[in-house]
Amino acid sequence: MLKDRLQQRQISLCANFEAAARPYTDDLTLYKHTNCYSYALGLPQLGIAVPGSLASFGQIYPYMFTAEHMRKLMAEDGLIEIDHDALAQSNTQVIGLVIKEYLSGHFLKYHQDGTWSQQDGFGGQITNRDCANQIITDLREANLGYYDAFIGYFKVPDTGLHFIPRI
């Protein structure tokens, strides 16, 4: 029964890139089973996760990659949108969202030391660098290649997230 699989977890902000990547360096097969959203949230047990489906079993692919639609899906997952000034005050995981409007979205993870990291899609590398090989310190200014629209920052509530593990 699906309700029996529903979990709730608090997710603390990682200290730095090394701490954020540790589950992936400890288990080298984890890359094969996760994507940028599960990495950014700090929940590799989500597997290939998509916004709007954390607490449901179905994989609902976002059909419309617009700021408005993505914000709606993030809220459905229980995430709270915050502004740039609130980044440093968060004790829970913060993720950033960038999109290529109507085509695709990408998520990055914030660290306590003020840097960001990302997983390059499904099965991709984990890195703290942008497409210009610079360590990401300001998501709004990072060279993220294909993704050209910064949407915002979203934090995990202090009470945590409800989700159904997939791996």
8 Å CB contact between 161 and 95: no
Residues contacting 50, CB < 8 A, separation 6+: 37, 59, 60, 61, 62
Check residue 3 and give its pLDDT: 61
Domain housing 37: 2-163
Please give the Cα distance from 69 to 74 (Å, whole number). Answer: 9
Digitized pLDDT (tens) for each residue of the chain, 167 residues in all? 456 778 888 999 999 999 999 999 999 889 899 999 999 999 999 998 989 888 776 656 666 789 999 999 999 999 999 999 999 899 999 999 999 988 899 999 999 999 999 999 888 899 999 999 999 999 999 999 999 999 999 999 999 999 888 88
Check residue 83 and give its pLDDT: 96
Residues contacting 107, CB < 8 A, separation 6+: 36, 37, 39, 40, 41, 95, 96, 97, 118
| Token pair recorded at residue 4 | 């029996």
Check residue 122 and give its pLDDT: 84
Total structural domains in the chain? 1
Please give the Cα distance from 40 to 142 (Å, whole number). Answer: 16
DSSP 3-state assignment of 146? Answer: coil
